Amino acid sequence: MKEQDLIHTLLTKNPYFNVSGVTSSEANYICERIKEKLKPIQDEINGLETHTSSLDGEALDGFKKVENIDKKLKLIGELYAISAFLRTAIKEKENRLNIINDKIRKVRQQEDELLERIDMVELEKIRRVDMDDFLLTLPLADVIAYKTAEAKASHIGKFIHNFDDIRHKLTKQERISFKEVGEQVFKIHHTPLYELDELQQTQNYLLAEHRDYENTVNFYKAKFRDFENGAKVRYEEELNKLQNERNAILNERVKAKTESLTAVKAEIASFKIIIPNEFKEMIDELLKKV
């Protein structure tokens, strides 16, 4: 059932309620008075005997004729009807108040579910930055300097890494080898293209170059880490801002909804239980005898 329809149903006074009548406490009191009135009548009906006995004129029991059985049964039925009507009305009112109380307890949860969530996927983009994002914030000269240093450091590094293999080939290769082709044997001369000292000098030069390029790359990577940390700070700030804004809206909605439901609860609580005309005389009589 839609909430608007539910509230309308809860505020419907028919058939038990109106602005005048008795409160739930008064109705409970009337029901207790009915129980008191019913007990002796029911005891009399339930203990009905058809004979009384005596011996030589002496009564052997205290049985008496129950007068007006039909009227007493009618009265019992009427009293039960009043009690059933009042207790049903009391229960109906309590049920309605319980429904409202339950809705009030669940207001924050339900309003939270209805309120649009923070887009965490979009928010993550603030924090999840990479080097390309950082480069977009730099002047062209810095971008070129970083890309150049990165590329040269990478390729020089690969050569330096393979230098031991080159030196091994240079020093271990025999100057003369023989190759047999059919019945002929050919003498092959292996002439070094590089001197070991020459290669060592090249390696030393490249090592120095590599260090310079690596220093440049590390400089920009350090700047990127600062940029990355700044992104994390901005993420936390934006998240806190969005959470605070959302909580403020949620609190306003919860407050308004709670006030609305509390007003409904107060109206239901003010309902009086109708005393039907058929029961009025008997209820007045019960109350007079208090």
Q: Given this model, what pLDDT does residue 163 score?
A: 79
Looking at residue 132, which CATH number applies to its domain?
Answer: 1.10.287
List Cα–Cα distances, 271 to 7, 20, 259, in angstroms: 15, 8, 19
Same domain for 101 and 124?
Answer: no
Per-residue pLDDT of the chain (290 residues; tens, 9 = 90+): 788 899 999 999 989 999 889 999 999 999 999 999 899 888 888 787 777 776 777 877 777 887 778 888 998 999 999 999 999 999 999 999 999 999 999 999 999 999 999 999 999 999 999 999 999 999 999 999 999 999 999 998 888 888 778 877 877 777 888 788 888 888 888 887 878 788 888 888 889 999 999 999 999 999 999 999 999 999 999 999 999 999 999 999 999 999 999 999 999 999 999 999 999 888 888 877 54
Residue 285: predicted pLDDT: 82
Query: 161 and 105 in one domain?
Result: no
In the chain, the N- to C-terminal Cα span, in Å, equals: 45
Domain co-membership, 213 together with 151: yes
In a domain, 242, yes or no: no
In a domain, 245, yes or no: no
Residue 19 lies in a domain: yes
Residues 56 and 146 in one domain: no
3-state DSSP call for residue 273? Answer: strand
Distance between CA atoms of residues 132 and 124, nearest Å? 16
Residue 25 CB: number of other CB atoms within 10 A?
A: 9
Evaluate whether residue 193 is within a structural domain: yes
- pLDDT for 290 equals 47
Same domain, 134 and 202: yes
- d(CA 290, CA 30) in angstroms, rounded, equals 10
Is 243 a member of any domain?
no
Residue 161 lies in domain = 120-236
**Which residues, at least 6 apart from 188, have a Cβ–Cβ distance to it below 8 Å?**
176, 177, 178, 179
Classify residue 157: in a domain, yes or no: yes
**Per-residue confidence (pLDDT) for residue 80, from 0 to 100:** 93
The full DSSP string for 176-202 is EEEEEETTEEEEEE---SS-HHHHHHH
Which of these three, 236, 258, 276, is where a domain ends? 236
Structure tokens at 95: 């049920």
